[in-house]
Amino acid sequence: MKSKIAGNNIYKIFGEDPSLALDLLAAGKSKDEIYEVTGQAVGVHNVTFRVAEGEIFVVMGLSGSGKSTLVRMINGLIKPSSGEILIDGIDVASCSDEELRTIRREKVAMVFQHFALFPHKTVVENVAFGLKIRGVKAAERRERAQSALEQVGLGARGDSYPDELSGGMQQRVGLARGLASEPEILLMDEPFSALDPLIRSDMQQELLELQRTLKKTIVFITHDLNEALTLGNTIAIMRNGAIVQTGNAEEIVGNPANAYVAAFTRDIDRSLVFKAGSIARPPDTIDLGTDIQSALAHMEETGADAVHVLKGGKLAGIITYKAANAALREGRALKSAVLEEFPSTSPQSRLYDLYLLAEAGLPIALTDDAGELIGVVRPQDVFQQLAVRGASA
């Protein structure tokens, strides 16, 4: 997939002589040792990353990890001491001021933690303010601001004032202000961290729903791992200015790169992270026309308590070993013992959503959008995955 944003070997040193600090880093000195010797702070240390077009790339880290410095370098607000940051192939670290202005005007918008809304302006005027600064004519900026408010569910509140809105609504106004410029990239620096937990969760879901339609390239900064796991197609975890692991939610939680990441993921609810497809097995099937003796022989050979049944290649049901035995004793055909109602779900379902399905004790069918059987999940595999803990320190 095409990279919309790429960072290559990025360093940021805060101080008067970055070259000295860079030399000490190359010699293996730590961030604290460099500060002690030079008084300079290592903000970002040899960071390389790729953000695919249309994905939500989450940078997660504690205070001082370098995540906010990184996102400000992507927008050209802070210049790296070394390395390059490419947006559609243009290096914002070394391009001309005119090129940087064009990128900010046409490609990138930022949404911050603090709403910074003008209390004396209406909601639609707040959203349109950036467009006004850029010289967009009044009618057009009103239309674009109203359209952005519609996208975030505030189309009816354009003439309200900020103090008439809840905190979550105010943050949606901040998001609409970013969308009004119709950017290709949204940079979001801890935009929900000031919100109450329930409102924050609602905003996360609203962002995901919005992204399904808009398909923007989003770099989202957070200090909250649950938020990172909820939102991120790709997650980069930072510590002391460096990225210590990059991966999707299942990779981060299931295979932490080191003790630091493992400590973060240890108490994560794995049922909300892992999807059914991650523990699926190849489907074990027989044809509806199979005679009952052959069906029983197949199940005895594979040790299966139940197998799915196909008719003309399509999923028709499931048969258990117990039901097949009863049919044999009573001289009935296999078809009479097939259960046409059976647990079934999508490979994208979370393990949390499989609990009720697993109660039947039958293998859960995983089907694609066309209803084709593409895998199965055994109930015991669900609980085995939930019992696994991340690597310990």
> Using one digit for the tens of pLDDT, what is the confidence trace for 16-46?
899 999 999 999 999 899 999 999 999 999 9
Cα separation, 297 vs 303, whole angstroms = 10
Contact, 49 vs 6, CB < 8 A? Answer: yes
User: Among candidates 294, 285, 291, which has minimal Cα distance to 316?
Assistant: 285
User: Mind listing the pLDDT tens digit for each residue in 200-225?
Assistant: 888 899 899 999 998 999 999 999 99
Stretch 358-368: mean pLDDT, rounded?
A: 93
Q: CA nearest 218: which of 193, 242, 183, 243? A: 183
**Res 193: pLDDT:** 85
Partnered with residue 315 across adjacent β-strands are 310
Q: What is the mean pLDDT of residues 45-74?
A: 95
Mean pLDDT, residues 333-337: 94
* pLDDT range class, residue 375, cuts 50, 70, 90: very high
Q: What is the DSSP letter of 270?
A: G
Is there a contact between 74 and 187 (Cβ–Cβ < 8 Å)?
A: yes
Q: How far apart are CA 381 and CA 276, in angstroms?
A: 10
Q: Note the Cα 3 to chain centre separation in Å.
A: 16
pTM of the predicted model as reported, rounded to 2 decimal places: 0.85
The two structure tokens encoding residue 70: 């990184």
The DSSP call for residue 164 is: G
> Above 60 in pLDDT, residue 240?
yes
**pLDDT recorded at residue 133:** 81
Average the pLDDT over each of 28-32, 258-262, 383-387 and give the range with the smallest value: 383-387
Tell me, what's the pLDDT at 1?
A: 67
- In this structure, which topology does domain 52-82+92-269 adopt according to CATH? Rossmann fold (3.40.50)
Going from the C-alpha of 283 to that of each of 59, 315, 320, the distances in angstroms are 37, 11, 15
Looking at residue 27, what is its pLDDT? 93
CATH for 277-387 (2.40.50.140, 3.90.1200.10, 3.40.50.11890, 3.10.580.10): 3.10.580.10
Q: What is the pLDDT of residue 168?
A: 85
**Which one, of 271, 275, 268, 301, lies nearest residue 286 by Cα?**
301
391 pLDDT above the threshold of 60:
no
Say if residue 335's pLDDT is above 50.
yes
Kindly report, residue by residue over 73-128, the tens digit of the pLDDT. 999 999 999 999 999 999 999 999 999 989 988 899 988 777 678 999 999 999 99
The residue whose two tokens read 């290649």 is: 313
The angle, 0 to 180 degrees and rounded to 10, between the axes of the packed helices 138-151 and 167-180 is 130
pLDDT (average), residues 250-262 = 93
Do 388 and 255 meet the contact criterion of CB atoms below 8 Å apart? no
Please state the rounded mean pLDDT for residues 251-275: 91
Q: What is the pLDDT of residue 60?
A: 95
Task: Check if the beta carbon of residue 377 is closer than 8 Å to that of residue 276.
Answer: yes
Can you read off the two tokens belonging to residue 95? 């391009």
HEC assignment per residue over 168-203:
HHHHHHHHHHHHHCCCCEEEEECCCCCCCHHHHHHH
Length of the chain as a residue count: 393
Q: What is the pLDDT of residues 140-183, one digit of tens each?
A: 999 999 999 999 888 999 999 999 998 888 888 989 998 998 89
**For the chain, domain boundaries:** 52-82+92-269, 277-387
pLDDT over 70 (residue 388) = no
